[in-house]
Amino acid sequence: MVRKTKEEAGVTRCHIIEAARRVFLECGVGRTSLEKIAAAAGVTRGAVYWHFKNKTELFFAMREEAVLPFLDRVVFDSADDDPLGGIERAIHEIIRILIDQPRTRETFDILTFKCEYVDEFSPMVACTEGQLDFLDRLTDAYGRARERGQLRLPADPQALAYDTFLFIGGLIRHWLAATADQPFRVDAEAFIRTHIALRRA
């Protein structure tokens, strides 16, 4: 047993989180044992219990890693000359992130399909603060689009934001569930264009 330096221990911790993500994705959170995670990370359960209190804590550590950078990347520029186009670009950006960030995609996949929202996980079903914040910023963006006369009337920014929010929720879910050759992946960009075209003046 060669004791690791502090830096090496950090690496081990990362390996465990990566392994957890892979196993969660394959087995589902409920059917994932810490033994499976440890094996996938090339360590023993001892290492896992050293870095994390239990599976739940490990799960939330994994989630944090992917969700926070995600929200940072989807932004609406309030000084944008073309707010409606900005909304469209933001939605395209969401799909782009799912395509080229495997960790984010896998984490969303786990959160959407491989996790049961009961007991310690049940608080997660409600809209997160991040989601509500997103809704607010979306409403603002539609407000600016209306000021610029980009929207066909009647155009209540709040109502439009909710419609778009629900659209995005459905889109992410079906995009994740689809295989690479199915409509929800192939035509996602077209769906986004249609969605925005419906509200353009």
Question: Is 189 a binder of DNA (CB under 7 A)?
Answer: no
Determine phi and psi for 132, rounding to 5 degrees.
-65, -35
Instruction: Name the residue nearer to a second copy (CB basis): 11 or 197.
Output: 197
Q: Which of 55, 114, 144, 185 binds a second copy (CB under 8 A)?
A: 114
Helix ranges restricted to H, the chain:
6-27, 34-41, 45-51, 55-73, 83-100, 102-113, 129-147, 157-177, 183-186, 188-197
Question: Is 194 a binder of DNA (CB under 7 A)?
Answer: no
Q: CA-CA distances (angstroms) from residue 183 to 36, 98, 177, 196?
A: 35, 16, 11, 18
> Which conformational region is residue 58 in: left (phi greater than 0), alpha (psi within -120 to 50 degrees), or beta?
alpha
List the interface residues with DNA, window 29-48 (CB under 7 A): 31-36, 38, 43-47
Helix axis angle for 34-41 and 6-27, nearest 10°, is 120
Question: Is 102 a binder of a second copy (CB under 8 A)?
Answer: no
Residue 47 interface partner, choices DNA, a second copy, none, CB cut-off 5-8 Å depending on type: DNA
Question: Is 183 a binder of a second copy (CB under 8 A)?
Answer: yes
Question: Is 3 a binder of DNA (CB under 7 A)?
Answer: yes
- The alpha carbon of residue 140 and the mean position of all alpha carbons in its chain are separated, in whole angstroms, by 22
The residues that touch a second copy, with contacts defined as CB under 8 A, are 26-31, 113-119, 125-127, 154, 156, 159-160, 162-163, 165-171, 173-174, 177-178, 183, 187, 190-191, 194-195, 197-199
The residues that touch DNA, with contacts defined as CB under 7 A, are 1-9, 12-13, 31-36, 38, 43-47, 49-51, 54-55
